[in-house]
Structures are given as C-alpha cells and as structure tokens.
Structure 1
Amino acid sequence: MPCRNCLISIVNNFLPPEARLLISKDQYKRPAIFLRDVDNDYENEVIAFYSLEGARYTIALKREENNWYVLSNVSQKSRLDLGNKARNLSLAPVKVIGGIKYGYIDNKGQFVIKPRFDYAFNFQKSGLAIAGENNIFGLIDTKGNYVLKPKYDSIDEFSEGRAIVRDKSGAKIIDEAGKEITSKAYNYIGSFRNGRAQFGGLGSSEKYIYGYLDRMGNEVIPQKFEEASDFINGIALVKINDKHYAIINLKGKVLQTFNYNFVGNLGDGLLIFQKEAGEKYGYIDLRGNIVIQPQFEGTQGFENGRAVINAAAGYKTKYGLIDRKGSIVIKPLYDNLNLLGENRVSVGKATDIEKPYMGSKYAVADTNGTFLTDFIYNNIEKYNRGLASASDNKNTFFIDKSGRIVKTMPIVSGGGSLIIQGELIKAFVDNRTSYYNMQGKLVWKQNTTIPLDNQYKVIEQKFNPNKDYLVYYPQIEGMKNKRVQLDVNNKLKKLSQVKDIPGNVQLESSYSGDFSVEFFKKNLLVLELNGYDFPFGAAHGMPTKAYPHIDLVSGSFYELKDLFKLNSNYVEVLSDIVGNMIKTQPQYEYVFPDSYKGIQPNQPFYIDENNLYLYFTPYEIAPYAAGFPTFKIPFKDIMSIINTQGSLWKAFN
C-alpha cells in the first residue's frame, strides 16, 4: 500500500474540492484514513472519513492493478441507520390485474413492503429506493413510506449523495432528503463522479455542448465542450472542437491537449486515438506520447492493463487482447471478447462461421492468455468476489475463476443471470425473477396464478421448446362449462404462438411472448398478448400485440363491431375522431403525413371500464420508434352509437 501522504493524495482525488478530511482522535491527530478489508477479498481497501456541507461521509476506495475506484461513498447516518436494513430487502414483482406490482421481501421470502408500486428499483446504499405509480416517481424508505412523493418523470440512482431527476421542465439534482439543489432545469445532467456531473444543452451556436456542475448545482466548469467524459482520479477528457481534445482538472484547467481526429476512453492512463478519419487506432498516454502505434481497426479502453482490439475491417470481427505495450496476449481470431474483471475474460467463437450473427459459445481465459475452459457457455457475466454468472443450453449457474460450475450454489433451469444481493441470490432466468439462499434453497419465486375473483383465475403456462423460443401464455380456470373453457384455452394457446417448434435446431430468429391481465369486471376478461420476433442479424425485431376480450360465461371472443349498434357507421365515426386527434393534439405529431386513411372494421382495440382504445402496429402510420400509436376515446363521447343492450357491453356493465 502507498505511504500515508500518498493515501491522503489518492483520497483527495476522489473528494469534492469543498470536502474536508476528518481528523482521527488518536494521539497523532492524523487524517481519518484507514486500511480495512471491507469486501472480504483478503485485500485491504482504503477507508476515509470526511465532512461536506455539515454532513459526515465514509468513502471506500479499492485498487485493481494500479487503478483506484470508489467502492462506496455514503453518509455515515445512511450507513449506520439504513444500510443493513436496505441490504436485506429484495425487489419482488407480482402479476396482478392491470399488469405487475412491485414490493420487497426479506431474506426469508416474506413481503416486508407489500407489492403496490407500478415501478420500483433496488434499495440503494442511502437506504432509499426509487418507486412510482401512474408514470411518476418518488423515493421510499425501508418501511415503504414515501420520503419524496412521486412527482418526477424519472429518477436516477444516487451517486455521491446526489440523484438526477427529470420532469417536464428538464433535469435537476436532488440530495438524499429529496431537496432540489439546482436553481434551474437542464436538458441533460449525468451522474456524479469526483464531485462533478456533466450537464448539456444547446449553446448559442445551436450546437449541443457540455459543462460540469458541482454537488451544490453550481456551474463550476462552463458549458463549452462538444463532448465530455466523467472525471476519473480528478481528470476528465473533453472535446473542444474538431481535432482538438483536452484533459482538464476539477476546476476546468486544461492540463494537456491532443490534435487528432479522435481521442477517447480515459482508462488505465492510456487513451485511444486516431490521427485522421478512416485511419487505424492506437493509444497515447496522458501527455500525448504515442505508446502503441495505430494498427487496429477497432479498440476498447484499457482496464487493469489489458484492452480488447479488433483486427478485422468493416462489419467483421476478429477480437483479441493486448497489454499496455501493445503486445498480443490473445490473438485476434475471435467473434467476441469481453473483460470480466478479476483477471478474467470471456472469449466467444461463432456457432456458425458463415453466420456469426447467430451467436457465440464462450470460453473463460485469464488475462495472460491461458484458456481455462472450452467454448461451452452461452453467456458469462462479470466476476465479483471470485464468481461469475453463466449459462449453457439448459441451466444458469455460477462459475469459479477456473471456469468450473459451482455445484454448491443454485443451478436454475433456463437462460439468464444470477447475482448475489445481500444474503440472497437473485435469479432472473427465462424472464422471471426468483430468489435463493446461499445454500441453493428456493426462498421466493414470481407468482404463476393471477386470481380474478373467488371464481375465476388466470394460470401462467410456459412453452420453451427451443433455446430461442420462449412463450408464457394464459389459461383460464373457473368457467362453469368445462368444454367451453377448453375451447377458450386452446384459442389462447394459438393466439400466443404456441405451435410446433423444432427443439434441437438453430432457428433463424428468436421469439419471446408474454401476457398480462389488463382488465376484468363482471364476466369480461381483457388480456394483453405480446410478442417479439428478432431475426438474427437484423437491426431490430418486430413486436406484436393482441387483446382478446373474453366472455367468461359464454366463451365468446368479442370484436370491435360487437360494441356498437347495427348500422351505426361506427367505422366512419371513430375514423373521424382519430383523424381529428392526429390533427389537433401535439402528442401525435410523429404520425407520418398523409398516412392515416381511417380505421378498419376490425381495427385492433381494447377497452377498460370507461374508455375504448384503438391502436395501430409499428410502421403502419408512424415510425418504428413510436411503437403502437394508441388513441383513447371515452365511452361518454360515443354513447350514441354504443349498443348498451349488446352482449359485450353487458359483459362488464
């Protein structure tokens, strides 16, 4: 470990300029900096105590190779009063009528905070969690009470005691008490690093430019950069203009400039650079000295003395690994290569050489180039304390640093990931959440039964005939006529794309399907069946959506026409309403000009208690990014044409 004066210098690099190190109470009256193994990896971390704006904080720094990073940075009040309790609460999603509600369970799988939130995230070190309802977000404590009532469109995770929130006016900064720090809203604010956060927006020349805020929301570095990175060890890389990059310090002072077409990725003390557009990439140090001559078609930043490079031109890939001198550690022969941390990498080889976009099988290697396994895994996550989540065609599990499956920990059927959270292991496998204890015993899993009332319920069934084909589909229980119930369930299977799919062959695309209970009242059940087909190698997949409206007494599947009187000319009436909404409401400005020609007699639709919703598929009248353009029409506006004596209306009225 470095000398004490060196430790003080290292710690100060990670503190806001306004922070002050606390003085220890020992006889030497030295700064409160200590060495402790806080993450049980048998290596000491640097722990320091400091004050800022009247509050006291604890920061933990960890070193990998010659680089330091922040392991944690929390207020002492949060750490002492809230940290342990927050670590023992795990986010748990539950399927209900209307979609999914989120709550939090303890280490025994019991709900401590009942599932009542529409959106929720893991508890943070501050002892707070982001949660929300009705498309707005707030902050809750470990009892589930709002300490900041929902009012924001989004809230980012806290970093260095600050979080970025967004509302209609823009992005702002709040502290851990939920108080807004910034005096105005910005177009963009990034996360805090070293007491600084990027902010961005249009400048006087109508160019998007960046500056930096401090933790009090002050613009300490003016908005003048075309590009900006986070601060690391007290420095950041910025782009001033074309072929003009610079390293700046926390006060915005330029320490070094670089006159190249591209400079990027401030990591490990080396920067990627490209002299002129179209030329190859190399690496320079922080003073601008060329350390590795330009010779690569593509490069990634250094981490712990290693960097991933690509030796193939165009859209092809030949990934390899180099050291800080540019020497080849793993030859550039592979379709994928990822740094996993803890001196390990995953190396991917295409399952079909002629079609590399079909996917890869991965091996584990160390950062000296020694392969520890064959190409046997479908995916491998980053290592943490000697373990990495991985999966094959059958299961998801942990592997150790030798690449072997850890059989004393959970092995979960299906594909996904495992992560240790406090005293539990969270499994997100085949798009479903479950929790296990460290001995591999199941503690909690997501529900597969959705009660509608005392008679009816919807049961989730899983169809997974191929590794690239996964569907969850609904089946109804409780209908008195079992023959009708069987017919309804068979139709739901068909609508959900449950069909003959070969098992041990490589499909040309992946398909996933799921469902939710959107509405239930009296005898009417409305389900949402959604799907996503992704052809391998395509830019994106194609989503699908359908809403069966099912009468639980008769077994009828209703169509749009069943809502209206005979000869009501509902197509023309609804077409005019939708057309007027497109013309007059700004929220529909994305609709392609002249693309809307009216609705169809069998227009896709769904209803709730008070409204009719008409929707269009992607590309039909709007760009793909617009999703499913949807138009809400209150029943009160069209009562004159609704058949209130019809079976559909009576099914829920």
Structure 2
Amino acid sequence: KLPEPEKAEALYQLDNFEWFYSPNEDRWGLRKLSDGGVQIEPTFHYIEVDRELGFTLVGIEKDNKYEFERTTFRFDMIFGLVNNEVGLPITEVDFVDLKLEDLRQGYPLARCIFSDGKYGLIDRIGRIVRKEMAYVGPFQNGLARVSFQGRLSGSLKGDHSLGKLQAYLADMLSPNAMVDYTQYDQHFRKNAYLICESCEWGFMDTSGQVVIKPQYTFVKNMSKEVGMVQKGDKWGMVSRKGDQLIPCQYDGVEFLENTDEKIVRVYKQEPKYGLIDTLGQLAVGAVYDEIGSFSEGRLAVSQNNLWGFVDAEGKEVIPCRYKEVKNFSEGLAAVRQDNKWGFINKQGKVEIGFNYRRAGNFKEGVAWVSTERGYGYIDIAERFVIEPGFSRAYDFFQGRARVEVDGAYGLIDLSGKYVVRPKFSRIEPFNQYGIAIVRYGRERVRYEVMDLNGSLITKKSYESIEPFSEGLAAVRDKNGYGFINTQGNLVIADQYSRVSAFSEGRAAVYQNGNCGYINKVGSTVITFEYSRCQDFEDGRAVINKGIRNTGLIDLDGQVIVEPKLDRLLDFNEGRGLVRDEKYRFYYITEQEDLYRGYFQKASSFKHGVAVVQIDGKWGVINQKGMSVIPPKYDKIEGFIDGYAKVRVEGFNGLSNLKGELIAEPDYEFISYAGQGLFRVEKGDKVGYFDAAGKWVWSLNN
C-alpha cells in the first residue's frame, strides 16, 4: 500500500531527487527534481530513506539460502545503498543485512552481511573496508569480537553461543523463513543458538583494526577493562591490548555478581560429593570424588581413585588408600589393595590378608572368597569352612547361600552340603519371608518359589513372578496376572491384564483398558473407572482420567482432588507434585492450593523435605516451603535413611582485574557481601575476607 501523497512527498523527496514508484515495473526509481529526468531506472522493490546518514537503503527481491546446522532458511531480499546527495549507488546490492545503527552511534564503520553469509565492514561513503569475515559482533566498549575463519551455524546446545538464533534472524534486514517445516525444523528455529563453527576469535576496534589477534577458541564481549578468553577448554583473562592477565588454565572465568565488573571469579571444575541430613546439615564435607552409603557407622568415600571410610560425624577414620571397598558387615569390610582382596576392621586394621581374587561380605560368621581353585567360604580366622570349588558364590542368609556351578544355581548350608544341587538358571536372593523366586527352562522359561529347605512351594509354575510386597507377589500365566501368597498359593485369580505391587493393602489392577484397586482377598474396593492408577502412599493415590487429567483418591476411593489437574505426578506427606505445560514444577495441598511458587525441577516430599532446583542449582525445602538448604548445589540426590548425596561440580576463587589472585579456587561458594567483603563457604564452614584477601572472619561453623 502506497502512502498518502503528502506523506509520500515527505518520505521520498530528497534535496535534489525524489524516489518514485512505477506500477508497470512494480519497482522504485529515482528522478531529478530539477527536470524530472530519470536518475535511476525503476529497479528496487524496497526503499527506505535515511536522512540522518545521507543514504537510501534499497532492496531487490532475490532468494538466498543458508543452512544453520541441518535447517535451511531462505532470505528473500538483498540490499545496497544510494547516496542521497548525488543520487548514485555507492555499494553493490549484495547485502542481507546492514547494521547502520553502528554509524548512528558515531562509529566510523558499520557491520554488514553479504548474501553468502560472510561479514564485512563498510564506511560512511559506502566503501567496503573489510570483508570475508565469519562474524563480527556488536561493538562494546570500543571493541568487537571477530573471527576471520569459520562459518555461522546453529546448535541446540548453548556452548559458545552468540545468542538465540531466532533473535538473530529477527534482527536481519532481509525477510527470512525456513525452507521446510518439519517438526525438528520448528523446534530448532525456536530453541537453537547461533554459533560459529571452526572459528578463531580475537578483537577488532571501531576502525576495523585488529587489536587482539584471533587465536582463541572463544571469547566473551570485552568489558571496560578486560576480556574473558578461552583456549581449548580452559579460560583466562586478557587486557584490552591483549596482554595476558590470567592464563587460560581455569574451567570458568567470569565477573563476580554485584562487584561492578571489578572482581573476577575463577572456577576449577573438580566434581566432589558430600552428604547432608534432613536438617540441611553437612554430615560429610563435599571433598570426595564419590561416596557410598552408611553401614555399621562407616561410609565409604573416594579421593583420587582410592577408597577409605569416614564415621557418622564425617571424620575420615580410614584413609583413602584402597582400590576398591565394600560396606562393613559384622565388623569387617572387604577391601582391594593392588589386585588382591582382604578384610579390615572399623579402625582400619588388616584382619585378613590380601590373598584373594575377590571377596564378599561376612554373614553368619563366614564370607565367600575367590581363589585359583574357585569360590569358597572362610571364617574370621581365615580358615576355609567350605572349600573352594564353586564357579560363583553369594552371601549367606538364614543358614543358606546360593552358589553357581557351570552356570547353574544351587543352594548350600553352612557346612557346605547341598540343600539343592545346581540345576536352576537363576535363584533370586531370599527375601524377608525366607523364600526366593527361581527360574528354570531354556526354550520355555518358567518361574516358581523356593523355601529355605529347597522345596518348591508353588503349586504350579508361572510365566513370571514379581517380587513380594506385603506378603503377596504378582504372577503371570496364560489368562493374565494374579497374586500368590508366601505359601505359594494362588489367592487372587490370574484375570488382569496388568497389575502393580500391593501398597497399603491395595493393588492397582487393569481390565479392558481401565484400572481400579483390589484388596488382599481380591475384592474390588475401587471401581474400574480410571485410565491410570498409581500406588498408594500415606493413604493417597494419584489417578488419571484420560491422558492428562489427574486427581487424588483415598483408600476407600473417595475423591480428594478431582481428576482435572494436568500432570499431578505424585502425592506424599500432604503435598502433591505437579508439572505444568511449561515443564515448571510446583506443589499443591489437598485443597489444591498452589504451594510456594514454581521450580525448574522438584522431587516428592520424603522425611518432611523435598529437593528442588532454582536457576540451575539445587536446594532443600520443608513442608512449609521454607528453605532448609538454599539452592547452591549442582546436584542433590534423593534422601535415603535420612541422608542425601550432594555434588559440587567445582571450586571458586577470586582475582582482581590485574590478574592477581585474592583467593585460591578452594571454595564451594563465593559471593559479594557488600562493603568490600566476600563471603566464602567450605564444607559447613563460612568466612569473610576483604579485597586484599585478608580474613575478616576466618572459616567457622
């Protein structure tokens, strides 16, 4: 649509010329005001007069395609410049973008992008000063990052990102669109980052002169005084002249928050694990490469690929010096030194020498060990109570141990006599009921249940038997799923297409595509009206009607929360965990009240607390939504027996802008506390020091 005549005159009239539109050509031309003579024939599909800069931006429709990763975009127009005073083109029409805002900011040069995707620099008279560059970033503090080699592309990963691809394309002069609209292409356009493949980075000033030679894997925009640069996978810092201030030896270098770009945080990646309790107290400091779980008051920990043990207070009582360890059992732990196994006590004293290829746990006074003659069992005096001769052996339980001979499982007693000779393809560990699931057959695999005497107590074999829960185990036969008791009797007929384990006296069962709940005698206590049924916990179960509509019921089937919520994932300890369509997590009460806002990720409540993620860091909240541990860890695993494993990815230090270290990278967390003081955390200790690195308050609990 053409503008009104009076507006057109203002828009398109220059001092000596005017732009005119030719309907026949469907293009714009330029004519003289003095005599109406044509200065430039109707050539352009687009014009935009810039009186401030003295140019007219002109465009011609032409398709150019460029591939970002595997998604191709079409650019529909190329541009050039016409000088308003003399009425002549001063550039070729070959740009898909011209960053004329660079000139408006007073810079002598403006960035431009040619139709082949390469960057250049153009001056105020249209002269190309530089070309054939892969990328030139915005000028910040007088410098722009630049790469002469490489190629712009896109990636769904944010490494070495130059910004979001969608924003980059939206800022282009040339209209553009994807060539194909596959599901992947649409996802890519929305989520991809702009990157530069095979680039080598340096810095250029506003006159186009290279100030810092391209030599880096990546660089961040230059600040007022320094720039962060990367070589390989390590980061450092340079001055505006390119002088090295911090060598490229750190895994991260960035300005510390709230310090007005005066203090630099240096980061050393070195994943370490610790242990917290439900009160948020650090039971074991995050100084270990890996940790196990507590057993008999000892916790296995690893440093530098060697293992030791700490006590319940987190004190290292057995140094990390073993290649491999097992948990303590009956006061002893199997440990490996070089390629041989032995046993130590809780004080670290060697009780049984390093004489074995492998070793198990002491149970009922004996432990299995592997020798050149096979597997056998020793007592605490290192006497063989059962001579080696088995292909594999397992820990004793209630006077019985599973053993393997040539791939077949059998059962022995404490004297080494066979209770059941090796004939099964698998015997599962015995459970608390003193029974074990066994498997046999090759072409037709079947399952039964065995007692400690080696007797098969099931009245028949089944296609599968699931682990026992609340005294019942799900079994599958030709008619479907049912349940057997610990005596091996089929007490609930095999009539269901799917079942879950019993929990709080209820089991979810499926028939004809719907699910309900039965009790332990097989009576239907909650009718088959749901599409999905989860296990009961704390008297509540999450149910679905349809694909996404979730709600909450009690043990009698009474609806607590109507099935209308989108993705109620779990309900524990009075709090429901919900994920919305934006993949945000939040908690609700039984009254469906939103509880304490949204989280990036979250877990169900256990032991009165829940693990949540905010801004990429993990913390712990209580049932009131209060922070027990602020979001500061890189990972917090679920609580088990009142403890949760925490992970710190690395350690932080501080430097000034001269590259002088104020603090070595020894601290899990560093923040600016104000008034020239810095707060540091190491384990469960907190301290403060000043900008000179002097302690104002040394590390204390």
> Which of the pair is proportionally richer in helix?
1
With structure 1 as the length reference, what TM-score do the two structures score? 0.41
> Which of the pair is proportionally richer in strand?
2
